[in-house]
Amino acid sequence: MLRNRRCRNQKFWREYPIKPYTVDFRCVDLKLIIEVDGRQHQTDEGRQYDQRRDQYLAEQGYQVVRIPGYEALRNPVAVLHQIEHAIDASTNRVFAILSPAAVRFTSAPKSQIQICLELAWVAKV
């Protein structure tokens, strides 16, 4: 699904530490996290832990998408569409914050401007 840890031209880092947690996949540019949940997440205790963890990550500015592990095995195409939808939504969220007009009048390093322009291109596709 995340071939070469990339999807929709976005790079994902696997097993990425965001202290005090480690997330399954993280897209740095979009502040997007993909979690593939096993059985332990289906218990009351697991759900409570995930809720605290997701709240913490949201406070850090991340969007968390949870995918049941069995669904990734049973229906990988649907899971891929779910990930693509999350990327598109995150791209639009970041693009709304960093519009080309806003970037034009900043002194952001060239790499940040290039990232913004790439996000604008992905949003059009």
Per the CB < 8 A criterion, the answer to whether 8 and 94 are in contact is no
pLDDT (tens digit, 9 = 90+) per residue, 80-119? 899 999 999 887 765 555 555 544 444 444 444 444 444 4
Residues 69 and 73: their CA atoms lie apart, in Å, by 7
- Cα atoms in the Cβ-side hemisphere of radius 13 Å centred on 24: 15
Total structural domains within the chain: 1
Instruction: Output 120 or 82, whichever has higher pLDDT.
Output: 82
pTM, two decimals, is: 0.68
C-alpha distances in angstroms, 27 versus 83, 95, 104? 11, 15, 24
Between CA 113 and CA 110 the distance in angstroms is 5
Domain limits for position 21:
3-124
For residue 66, what is the domain's CATH number? 3.40.960.10
